[in-house]
A and B are shown apart, each in its own frame.
Chain A
């Protein structure tokens, strides 16, 4: 008997769980399924460290959060979405407080906020430096009280069921038994997170292979703004473990091999002993990662076996502050780098961290494909534009997880019937996985193809790109897709076959990687995280627009453009440092400041 539900979440991280709870609260009669390839509390939301932005301080305003987000995104954000986001973010964070999230507090018991990169006011809520961990466990534990939520833990989704022009469920297999099932649904929400694993050096967990993006892309839904890849400026070499931006927000310095705070040479303000908002180490991530590359060209970085690094200096903060505000930073440095930030410098380098792009959705998480929704990093609404600000992704998954949940609940309540013809797709998929994939006897080793894909992405679509390298990257990716057809699969077991999972993930990544390269090749300008050496300027005439990547029937990628939604903040120059004190103020003066 085919399992059937009103709404299926693919992915059980922050967005998926928030969506599930929203559906349960909107309509208790709906049956909800969370299908996740890992137990939900293992999801990558768990790794988010620094915090979640939401206006709460008396000197702050929604308009200032919106302006920081829009300018930080280099004017590629949809401003109607940003306005909804900043308004709902504090309510969502507060709701999590009511559900028990252990937010860090002020002495009097009220919520504490901290500064963060690219934010002009203190508005980042935090739970020490394990914010994502606490949010995820709070959401997961709270979700357990809703009996209408059924979980498929350790089930891997391989395709969407599409019939009659709408999504009607998924095909998935149970890792434990290997059993392949069609799980039908009136609506599906993709909450699978990002795909850092297409790059060799990333903060992302091994599970971050862009599954939801690939599922949507293959089903005909477009991927938006895939050329925008965020490098976080401070990853530990070798492991790629993230040292949170909170380390700089609490006063850490970035220094080159001469001990010099080099960011002052890159239009990011002047150095002060104390952290200054929207300045120096608290500039946005794209600009800091780009400054590292320039510094390396000048020969002022430090060479190590794992590439060039600079140093993050926290020593002047002292053990007491480090232990109180960023204890996980100290724990990670001691456990994985064998150094103590209280007395040692931390080697860091830019590391792939976040995809601004994702499945194209509207402000309610709906994709152009009826019945299909997306939220969180897997989706692109877009509030992040060309560069996401630190601490906006956690509130994003709450705000748009909830919105997608409510919209999908409304859609599912219409009671559209499942079209029995879709079961032929399950039979096809069964054949593809059991027969074609498990019995592959080619000569290509999975790890080799994955390594080549990752190297190609770094070489072609790194912090700085150019047309030639991107076109070569697209061609290379097509050759890798051809070689993928000749994959060698050693494991023919049905019981917890992780090699089968890895092969399916690689197939997903190769498809999305090609879309990323194609979108990057077409965008002949530099904006935010997308820096073209052959087109160094922003070009609002041609590219104040989102890219939409469609998969064509021949399997290649077609790029279209969609204008950016501008409401109250016309495109302007992005400025940080002292100049940032004046930027944007004339926009704020005329509009009501609300909180």
Chain B
């Protein structure tokens, strides 16, 4: 078994280059090293200028998403040895503007997230002294998987619709809207409806479900989108028969 592997790492330094180039480095490849360990080895031992994001190294902070051999991956959860004998190509996530090297600009998602109102909406709040809002384990299960989104952006990177038209609000934001819509403590579904249906993107989304396939946390954004379409279709039928009051 080879004990080293070659990484082809995308470089883009806007002050120096007008487009992406690749650096090649050979790094150790013990069986428990992940792609991120390889990048850290390059940064610490070979080239201190390589830039990328990372933090928890346990698949929960959502920082280290990159494109590995063409697929969006959390690099902390992707073993180097799985790509032996290599070489292995590491690029920034697709469908986002690249700021530098492996770092992409996710500002677009951050602005969209606010628009879907990802917080509990209720007309009347009960005081804390009256205790918790009851929620049975079955009610929790209704939305729990949507609440597991770590905002890692792999789904946006995989989404063919977002790739063509970045106005599409996108898989994670819709899943998070549904996380609240299906929470029995929330009454905000009607307020979120307009934002979700304003762009035709959601109707262009097919059952292919690239977003669900790449999601490292089994959030199933594609399922969230399909459930939304059903709700929206029902609402639009209702509004056809019962026009909104003035």
A-side residues, CB < 8 A to B, are: 38-39, 41-44, 46-47, 91, 94-95, 97-100, 102-105, 107-111, 130, 133-134, 137, 141-142, 144-145, 153, 176, 205-207, 238-239, 241-242, 331-332, 335-338, 445-447, 488-491, 493-499
Contact = CB atoms under 8 A, between A and B. Distances in A.
B44 A107 contact: no
A110 B132 contact: yes
Interface string B103-146: 10110001001100111100001101001111111011001100
Contact of B147 (A137, A495, A497, A498): A137
A176 B99 contact: yes
Interface of B: 13-16, 31-32, 43-45, 47-49, 51-63, 77, 99-101, 103, 105-106, 110, 113-114, 117-120, 125-126, 128, 131-137, 139-140, 143-144, 147-151, 176, 180, 183, 185-186
Contacts of A238: 32
A102 B58 CA distance: 21
Contact of A335 (B16, B54, B59): B59
A100 B151 CA distance: 18
A402 B125 CA distance: 20
Contacts of A336: 32, 58, 77
Contact of B133 (A44, A47, A98, A337): A98
Contact of B48 (A98, A141, A207, A491): A491
B150 A133 contact: yes
B35 to A, nearest CB: 13
A585 B158 CA distance: 59
Give the secondary structure class of B's interface.
loop
A109 B183 CA distance: 13
Contacts of B183: 100, 102
A52 to B, nearest CB: 14
A141 B58 contact: no
Nearest to B48: A490
Contacts of B110: 39, 153
A206 B13 contact: no
Contacts of B100: 493, 495-496
Sorted from nearest, which 4 A-B pairs have the closest CB atoms? A109-B134, A447-B44, A491-B49, A490-B48
Contacts of B15: 493-495
Contacts of A95: 128
A321 to B, nearest CB: 15
Given A39-B110, A99-B120, A338-B31, 19 more contacts: A46-B60, A47-B58, A98-B120, A98-B185, A100-B119, A100-B180, A100-B186, A102-B183, A133-B60, A141-B176, A142-B119, A153-B110, A205-B57, A206-B55, A238-B32, A331-B59, A493-B13, A494-B15, A495-B100
29 contacts: A38-B63, A41-B61, A41-B62, A42-B55, A46-B61, A46-B150, A47-B58, A47-B60, A98-B120, A98-B185, A102-B183, A109-B134, A110-B134, A137-B147, A141-B176, A144-B119, A206-B55, A332-B59, A335-B77, A336-B58, A445-B48, A447-B43, A491-B49, A491-B51, A493-B100, A495-B15, A496-B51, A496-B103, A499-B51
A453 B141 CA distance: 46
A42 B44 contact: no
Contacts of A46: 56, 60-61, 150
B147 A102 contact: yes
A141 B118 contact: yes
A20 B99 CA distance: 29
Scoring A100, A133, A134 by chain B CB atoms within 10 A of each residue's CB, the highest score goes to A100
